[in-house]
Structure 1
Amino acid sequence: MKIVILNTKCSNLTSIKIAIKRLGYHSIITSDPNLVLTAKKIILPGIGTAAAVMKILHQKNLVDIIKNLKQPVLGICLGMQLFCTFSEECSGTNTIGVLNHCSSKLLQVPNLSLPHVGWNNIFFKTNNLLFKNIKKESRFYFLHSYIIPVNRYTIATSYYGIPFSSVIQKDNFFGVQFHPEKSGNTGSQLLKNFLEI
């Protein structure tokens, strides 16, 4: 099975590749459109700004390709936010447009610092193959300042001053706001579940 990690020049590419290797799978880090189109599973990671990653995706002519993919795609952190049509980050950035929603900045709440860094619970809204063998209210590792508000595609939520989408699904597009590659055994199980969809 060909697993592609999209090369967005982010710092977590290798850690995702290692996490997948621990599960017994081989993956490649690439921005080659032909390899993306023929992959069985695709992971869109993201650490940094929406504008920087979108610039890379446009340079590689990947935006329309990603939007029209039919195989399972997993967006991680910023990668999930890029599924939206628009991001408020960097004074506003047009993003991929899988979801007709906007990613917005987390509200500054007394006694809670930004970015949201550390372990937090996720609360399932529905049963999903992504959650197989994962206990309710499991904790995952987060690092972000922007969110996708809760919407019709939200399948799990978390709370940090306000509720937000921690997991979304629209058709073959899955997104997680947290970093499964940094979330221990539970994160490994979620990655395994995605790879077995």
Structure 2
Amino acid sequence: MNGRTTDAPATAVPDAGTGRDAILRAARRAFAFRPYAEVTLRGIAADAGVSASLIVKHFSTKERLFNTVADFGPAADLLLAAPLDTLGRHLVLTLVRNRREQQGDLLLRVVFSLGDDDERTLLRERFDQQITRRLAALLTGRDRALRAELIAGQLLGLGAVQSLYRTGAVTHATPEGIADLYAPAIQRLIDG
């Protein structure tokens, strides 16, 4: 990565049939499961069903693509866009709906970044900074950092359940039904 992992990520724009979303999904899988040095643009392109030149067109370099994948800011903007008194339900609905509409999870890629490579460490650090600490800053009362970490864990658990039971009851339940059951526990952590 040449030590330049602080480059600004490429600007997020709607896919509009360009393959950008497919590239990002493939890149998230690649960077989460393999060390940075083993990931190639050709491999990502093959997984995404696009040409490597299309990746270069959208992201210029592998490093910029990684920085886009490692950016949890847009996910945080979506997830935290609700008042605290309804945030638990909003978090659950946003995760479930996004997974169904985009065929991807906003957060789960961090779970697979548990290696010791610098880029995996960077992915975890950005998750902590952009999701967990930002959430903690919104909370009131005692143990805000602990509560934020537990909320992040519950959200990651929801993503894992949706991945594990792709044809199970969670797949057939409405987002609202899932929120009715799952959001109260998260809301209790939010309320403190």
Q: TM-score, normalised by structure 2?
A: 0.26
Higher radius of gyration, 1 or 2: 2
**Structure richer in strand, relative to its length:** 1
- More relative contact order, 1 or 2 (CA 8 Å, 6+ apart): 2
**Structure richer in helix, relative to its length:** 2
